[in-house]
């Protein structure tokens, strides 16, 4: 019993240290946003990489997501004679929840782990030290630019994923009945309100920020050695996936208040 309590205490302690570390790091990064030189060029490069690297994956996943969701939901709605609600129902669930969360998880896996590994190996091979000794601020050049990049790109990728998923849903509906796209689109669009869009978009901005932040944090404070680089990448994915669910939960609860 004693041993178990100790293990619990130490894991709670580790968790709190981790959270404290991430908060410290966030403050450090925020300071860079107000300092010169601003690394616009690097940010654009990173945003391009992030988008380019994940778009194919997100497009395919989005399409399948819309398709499968529709195929699964259709029989139930048909049973109740509510088939005409299908486009609206699917698009609401995609835009509110499934699109943002799935896309963010994919980005955490692809971009976040990439940052963990890349920055981790920069740490291990002393590239970060080299920047520091030549008076170049590594937090600004490496970290802030990447966090800005994901904060901008993840919401854009989510919008694209949503659109493709809704198209996937349209394809699924057309397997059974001949609906033209205009009609499908109108049905979907009429069900949506600002209340669906605003929190969803807001949420994706935070997801993007967290993916960049946690990936960079894990890499930046990576331990020395090759093994540590793998560990940084791995824990970047795990931690940011967890963060995505927690943020999702919080945003949903907060939205309910209004």
Partner 1 sequence: MEAVIKIRNLYKSFGTNEVLKNINLTLNKGENIVILGRSGIGKSVLAKCIVGLLQFDKGSIEIFNQDISSLSSDELDGIRKKMGYLFQGGALYDSKTVRENLEFPLQRSRFAEADNIDTNTRVEEVLENVGLLDAQHKMPAELSGGMKKRVGLARTLILQPEIIFYDEPTTGLDPVTSKEISQLMVRVQNKYKTSSLIITHDLKCAKTTANNIKLLRNGNFYAEGTYNELENSEDEVVKQYFN
Q: Does 130 bind partner 1 (CB under 8 A)?
A: yes
Q: Does residue number 8 form part of the binding site for partner 1 (CB under 8 A)?
A: no
Q: Which of 125, 180, 190, 226 binds partner 1 (CB under 8 A)?
A: 125
Number of residues that bind partner 1 (CB under 8 A): 14
Site for partner 1 in 19-48 (CB under 8 A): 37
Q: Which of 26, 127, 201, 234 binds partner 1 (CB under 8 A)?
A: 127
- Residue 149 CB, nearest distance to partner 1 (Å)? 14
Applying CB under 8 A, the span of 100-108, 127-135, 156-164, 179-187 interacting with partner 1 comes to 127-135
Q: Is 253 exposed, middle or buried (0-12, 13-18, 19+ CB in 10 A)?
A: exposed
Identify the residue among 6, 126, 224, 245 touching partner 1 (CB under 8 A). 126
Name the packing angle between helices 226-257 and 99-107 (round to 10°): 160
Which of 21, 64, 82, 132 is in the footprint of partner 1 by CB under 8 A?
132
Give the interface segment with partner 1, choosing from 92-100, 135-143, 167-175, 225-233 (CB under 8 A). 135-143
Binding residues vs partner 1 (CB under 8 A): 37, 121-122, 125-127, 129-130, 132-137
């Amino acid at each position: 019993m004693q041993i178990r309590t100790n293990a619990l205490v130490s894991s709670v302690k580790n968790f709190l240290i981790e959270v404290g570390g991430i908060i410290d790091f966030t403050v450090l990064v925020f300071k860079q946003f107000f300092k010169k030189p601003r690394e616009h060029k690097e940010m654009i490069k990173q945003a391009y990489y992030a988008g380019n690297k994940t778009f194919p994956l997100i497009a395919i996943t989005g399409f399948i997501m819309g398709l499968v969701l529709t195929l699964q939901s259709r029989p139930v709605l048909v049973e109740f004679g509510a088939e005409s609600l299908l486009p609206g129902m699917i698009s609401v669930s995609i835009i509110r929840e499934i699109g943002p969360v799935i896309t963010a998880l994919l980005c955490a896996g692809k971009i976040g782990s990439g940052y963990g590994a890349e920055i981790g190996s920069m740490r291990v091979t002393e590239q970060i030290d080299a920047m520091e000794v030549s008076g170049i601020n590594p937090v600004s050049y490496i970290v802030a630019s990447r966090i800005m990049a994901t904060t901008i790109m993840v919401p854009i990728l989510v919008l694209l994923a949503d659109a493709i998923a809704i198209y996937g849903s349209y394809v699924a509906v057309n397997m059974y009945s001949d609906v033209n796209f205009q009609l499908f689109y109108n049905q979907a669009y009429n069900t949506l309100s600002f209340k669906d869009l605003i929190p969803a978009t807001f949420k994706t901005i935070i997801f993007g920020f967290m993916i960049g932040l946690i990936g960079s944090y894990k890499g930046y404070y990576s331990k020395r050695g090759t093994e540590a680089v793998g560990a940084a990448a791995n824990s970047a994915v795990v931690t940011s996936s967890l963060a995505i669910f927690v943020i999702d939960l919080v945003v949903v609860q907060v939205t309910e208040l209004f």
